[in-house]
Amino acid sequence: MKRFFPILDWSRDYTRDTLSQDLVAALIVTIMLIPQSLAYALLAGLPAQVGLYASIAPLVIYAIFGSSRALAVGPVAVASLMTAAAIGDLAAQGTPEYLGAAIALAFLSGLMLLAMGFLRLGFLANFLSHPVISGFITASGIIIAAAQLKHILGINAGGHNLYELAISIWQHLPEINLPTLAIGIFATGFLFWARKGLKPFLLGRGLRPKLADILARTGPVAAVALTTLVTFAFGLDTQGVNVVGQVPAGLPVPTLPPLDFQLWLKIATPALLIAVIGYVETISVASTLAAKRRQRVDPDQELIALGAANIGSAMSGGFPVTGGFSRSVVNFDAGAQTPAAGAYTAVGIAFATLFLTPALFYLPNATLAGTIIVAVLSLIDLGALKRTWRYSKSDFAAMAVTILVTLGFGVEMGVISGVTLSIFLHLYRTSKPHFAIVGQVPGTEHFRNIKRHEVQISPAIFSIRIDESLYFPNARFLEDTVYAAVANDTQIKHVILVAPAINFIDASALESLEAINHRLKDAGVQLHMSEVKGPVMDRLKRSDLLDDLTGEVFLTQFDAVCKLDPDCANKAMHGKRQA
Amino acid sequence: MKRFFPILDWSRDYTRDTLSQDLVAALIVTIMLIPQSLAYALLAGLPAQVGLYASIAPLVIYAIFGSSRALAVGPVAVASLMTAAAIGDLAAQGTPEYLGAAIALAFLSGLMLLAMGFLRLGFLANFLSHPVISGFITASGIIIAAAQLKHILGINAGGHNLYELAISIWQHLPEINLPTLAIGIFATGFLFWARKGLKPFLLGRGLRPKLADILARTGPVAAVALTTLVTFAFGLDTQGVNVVGQVPAGLPVPTLPPLDFQLWLKIATPALLIAVIGYVETISVASTLAAKRRQRVDPDQELIALGAANIGSAMSGGFPVTGGFSRSVVNFDAGAQTPAAGAYTAVGIAFATLFLTPALFYLPNATLAGTIIVAVLSLIDLGALKRTWRYSKSDFAAMAVTILVTLGFGVEMGVISGVTLSIFLHLYRTSKPHFAIVGQVPGTEHFRNIKRHEVQISPAIFSIRIDESLYFPNARFLEDTVYAAVANDTQIKHVILVAPAINFIDASALESLEAINHRLKDAGVQLHMSEVKGPVMDRLKRSDLLDDLTGEVFLTQFDAVCKLDPDCANKAMHGKRQA
């Protein structure tokens, strides 16, 4: 039971002290989350209240199922961008179909995460290599920031990749709205300064550090309040400043996702990508925070918790949610001890949907755009390109392709190209495994690479050590290498495959070994093996190779050479006497 | 020069003796190839003469560029089936568009092979694991045999997978033509018997073994001649027996493939599959035969030779060609010494197109269908399913999926599913590498798996040995394993990564190591490494890991433990005294 309901674990030790710590954290996260929820709904092309809805039910559900003590789930920038990209071509923004598609996307992502959790398919997330994720998030951050420019400029522009956006912004540039631009520049500038400068400023005014810390996090709320008031006071909404407008008050009502099979088929790929990328972000934030307090997160349970949270989001009219990085760090730093802090945050957001929505009418979209721009700037990590270039050219290639394709062709193509390329490069690397032709170190029973050591070899014996498991990407390589050696040197009468580093031989490699055995037989050469690991040997016994083998399987390479070249023992003795 | 023109290599030593051996081999292959060429053209849905055209220019071109001494190229069953599947939906059989599409397919396949050869991308063929190829060829054989039933029954039926074929044959069953059925059953039965029984029969009649051997190979020609005569004599073509009919006499004329970009886009995927599968068949036949005589084939040069042969086929009005298995074995057994035998075969086929085509008018399609059925039966290897099941369940899964999808959804889907599944299973396997927690064998400097040996460990030190390179599929696994250990045992103060089996650390795994380092630091635990290989260390020096590492990098695990637990030397001494 505790495996599936971690709440049963931590709720027993819940004290008054834990409660007060969780409540403080919840308050701070609530203040941070209100403008973020609105902003990410805007980014996804959805009505503002949808962002608030996605910050209520999912948080309560994560508190029940989540195994991380400090993770804060909710709408995040990258998933919101991916939502907009996935459904932008299916329906027009503002229509019930568009909202329905967003809800269906959250529902399907949630189902996929749940299925992956129950089937223990969390390893699928491994296929997203780090350079691909890092490149993808950087490129998404750039696209998101660029997409906000239209709100700052007060123009109508659109597009899901950088090229479309740039063209569209350029075309609409004459429509620029100056009051909007003023608000946008002020909000962005203030938030940018507040991120680093507000806390020292407040401390300088003599505030207590604890209070300064809390107030510093209210920067976004301050920007929202200030620009809303200005817009209201000067009636800027009648002068072309786009505002959030009427937001229906009240808690979300239970919703069913549209049961449209055609729609589900169309959003299946983006739903999977949102699920996997959201999971990767969640699990990496959760494990970072858990390790700091020497706690554990259960990767499979996180799949279930995140899946349930997304289904909860869909069924309360919300859109895809994820464990957010900055939000979780704030929650952790503010002292959250248990996932209950998330549930208290949900209460705070619910309160906002009940009573604060009228106050949002005059909130300018430009302010929300500023919030987003400042938030995503921390996602853009161009230094990673340099670091990766220095460390590994092939990883750099995967990262660069992911960034370029994401910028040029959109988020889905970007991720898919990056994953495909990194798998391809990985297979290419394993297709040419390291190998060594080995000879006997004089006076010992050791065998070493003839290129690196002074060793003795018998001209009739060709001993090759492969430092990699044998499987289909490198099976033919082994054949080519052995045939080349035997064709070039007619003295060879014995080939010994030295196998201490081979952990696995798959059916393709088995077939190659059988082919090598038969073909060498036709050429009058025997094939032997030495130092085969136990599990590999067990498996080979279930094949015909050992029966057909023209040579023998030796326990050690020394045994093999001694049997095939009686002179070897003398060499070893000779060496020993010398030594 | 010799690298790209192997002909320069072997033609210098060309003697009268080699010539006579090559001529005999060419004669036998020509006799075998005439009915096969016609039959495979029929299978691809093309006019009979196209099969002959594809057996002239490609053979001459392969003789110039090929590195195998005995390979015989030309139309083969699987590539013909794939051709029919690729272009069947693009144009109606018998139209110039259909022929144009087949020519374009050969041209594009040839270009792709040439490009792979010059870019040394032959390793791409490795991604087709053996179970996938074997399953694909078995399933293709079943589909080809089933598709011939309509010719044997004399009905109109079609379909690119087993299901469509079965339905179509069932629907058209009432139209069955009895004279056709009689010819079809006779031809198939005779050829089936001739394959094994004709040579002993001729030997029993007192023929010399050499002559019997040659005559035994003329079974298909005998079947063709006999059924053609019967059809002519009894005027069966007027009684519903479909015959080859008018075949234009004369050599092929230079042809340009249709320069239709839309068409090329549509056939790009099948062209790639035909190229890769044809190459795999070619290279495995070529290396088998070369190894028997201790000769070499150059895998990259084979790509170039096969590519040039396909372009040659296209430019002389032919369709995709490949190195055929049975044909090459016959060529080899008949004593072909050089690729010149292929050029002489081309002369034989050219002679046939000039003078023999009128004789083919009354050749029944049912006879050709019988030729194909008997030829492809040898491709079907259901025993491989059993062998693979016994050896490896995951390879069996890849093979079974390839067979089922090929039978159910056609050749392209079959190959793509098989390749995807085998790459997926491979990554899954590497995502959970073998690892061991190691301790000191008392009285020695050796460290072994604590599960398998009686070893001593210090409670503050956690030493983990990973028996696999670290890359993105298993990067997170390492993190999870280390965090789990450290979270469960608060005594641990040092984690040592024992790395003698790690050949490579990619950027994802580097990131994981950095994350482990930082997170352990927060938990008050130091991270160390021991026995890091030279190339891995060189690469790590280009990253920030070594600077940030909370612990040290030790040359040996013994050094590491001795530094961190001063008691270790005593343990070793103590053990030694005891021993």
Q: A563: domain CATH number?
A: 3.30.750.24
The answer on B445 and B394 residing in a single domain is no
Q: In the prediction, which pLDDT does B579 show?
A: 35
Residue that finishes a domain, picked among B391, B423, B455? B423
The answer on B413 and B546 residing in a single domain is no
Q: What value of ipTM does the predicted structure carry?
A: 0.77
Tokens of A262: 């055609």
The answer on B229 and B208 residing in a single domain is yes
Instruction: Determine contact: A196 vs chain B, CB below 8 A.
Output: no
A206 within a domain of the structure (yes/no): no
| Number of domains comprising chain A | 2
Residue (of A517, A461, A520, A521) closest to A491 by Cα position: A461
Instruction: Determine contact: B381 vs chain A, CB below 8 A.
Output: no
- In this prediction, residues A27-40 reach a mean pLDDT of 87
Instruction: Give tens-digit pLDDT for A102-119.
Output: 999 999 999 999 999 998
Instruction: Determine contact: B486 vs chain A, CB below 8 A.
Output: yes
Domain extent, residue A450, equals 435-578
pLDDT at A54 over 90: yes
Kindly report the average pLDDT of chain B as a whole number.
87
B307 within a domain of the structure (yes/no): yes
Q: In the prediction, which pLDDT does B570 show?
A: 62
In terms of pLDDT, which residue wins out, B375 or B226?
A: B226
The answer on A440 and A336 residing in a single domain is no
Mutate to test the interface with B, among A121, A124, A130, A395 (most CBs of B within 10 A): A130
The answer on B360 and B453 residing in a single domain is no
Which amino acid belongs to residue A546? L
In terms of pLDDT, which residue wins out, A565 or A517?
A: A517
pLDDT at A570 over 80: no
What's the CA gap between B40 and B53, in Å, rounded? 12
A405 within a domain of the structure (yes/no): no
pLDDT at A498 over 60: yes
The answer on B451 and B358 residing in a single domain is no
Q: In B, which residues are within 8 Å of A467 by CB distance?
A: 503
What confidence tier does A1 reach under pLDDT thresholds 50, 70, 90?
low
The answer on B479 and B395 residing in a single domain is no
The answer on B391 and B247 residing in a single domain is yes
- In this prediction, residues B518-526 reach a mean pLDDT of 88
Kindly report the average pLDDT of chain A as a whole number.
87
Q: What percent of chain B has pLDDT over 90?
A: 32
Chain B residue with Cα closest to A475: B126
pLDDT at A491 over 50: yes
Are B427 and A423 an interchain contact pair (Cβ–Cβ within 8 Å)? yes
pLDDT at B230 over 90: yes
In terms of pLDDT, which residue wins out, A453 or B498?
A: B498
B206 within a domain of the structure (yes/no): yes
Which amino acid belongs to residue A322? T
The answer on B474 and B334 residing in a single domain is no
Instruction: Determine contact: A467 vs chain B, CB below 8 A.
Output: yes
- In this prediction, residues B99-116 reach a mean pLDDT of 95
Instruction: Give tens-digit pLDDT for B401-416.
Output: 999 999 988 888 888 8
What DSSP string runs through A216-264?
HTTHHHHHHHHHHHHHHHHTGGGGT--B------SPPPP------HHHH
Instruction: Determine contact: A119 vs chain B, CB below 8 A.
Output: no
Instruction: Give tens-digit pLDDT for B35-72.
Output: 889 989 988 999 989 999 999 999 999 999 998 888 99
Instruction: Determine contact: B423 vs chain A, CB below 8 A.
Output: yes
The answer on A562 and A439 residing in a single domain is yes
Instruction: Determine contact: A538 vs chain B, CB below 8 A.
Output: no
Q: In B, which residues are within 8 Å of A393 by CB distance?
A: none
The answer on B80 and B52 residing in a single domain is yes
Instruction: Determine contact: A400 vs chain B, CB below 8 A.
Output: no
Residue that finishes a domain, picked among B423, B452, B483? B423
B377 within a domain of the structure (yes/no): yes
Are A299 and B480 an interchain contact pair (Cβ–Cβ within 8 Å)? yes
A407 within a domain of the structure (yes/no): no
Q: In the prediction, which pLDDT does A569 show?
A: 61
Q: In the prediction, which pLDDT does A210 show?
A: 78
Residue that finishes a domain, picked among A300, A331, A357? A357
Which amino acid belongs to residue B458? S
pLDDT at B271 over 90: yes
Chain A residues 61-90 with a CB less than 8 Å from chain B: none
In terms of pLDDT, which residue wins out, A564 or A8?
A: A564
Instruction: Give tens-digit pLDDT for A150-184.
Output: 899 988 887 777 888 888 899 988 889 999 999 99
A121 within a domain of the structure (yes/no): yes
The answer on B467 and B379 residing in a single domain is no
Instruction: Give tens-digit pLDDT for A412-440.
Output: 888 889 888 988 888 888 888 888 899 98
What's the CA gap between A286 and A283, in Å, rounded? 5
| Distance between B522 CA and the closest CA of chain A, angstroms | 5
pLDDT at B575 over 70: no
Q: In B, which residues are within 8 Å of A131 by CB distance?
A: 507-508
Q: In the prediction, which pLDDT does A412 show?
A: 84
What confidence tier does A247 reach under pLDDT thresholds 50, 70, 90?
confident
Write the CB contacts of B48 (distance below 8 Å, at least 6 apart in sequence): B38, B41, B42, B244, B247, B360
Q: A73 forms bridges with which residues in the sheet?
A: A323
What confidence tier does A217 reach under pLDDT thresholds 50, 70, 90?
confident
- In this prediction, residues B3-19 reach a mean pLDDT of 80
pLDDT at B272 over 50: yes
Q: What is the DSSP letter of A11?
A: G
Instruction: Determine contact: A449 vs chain B, CB below 8 A.
Output: no
- In this prediction, residues A291-309 reach a mean pLDDT of 86
A465 within a domain of the structure (yes/no): yes
Query: Do B465 and B500 contact (CB within 8 A), yes or no?
Result: yes
Distances (CA, A) of B139 to B134, B276, B319, B406: 9, 17, 22, 6
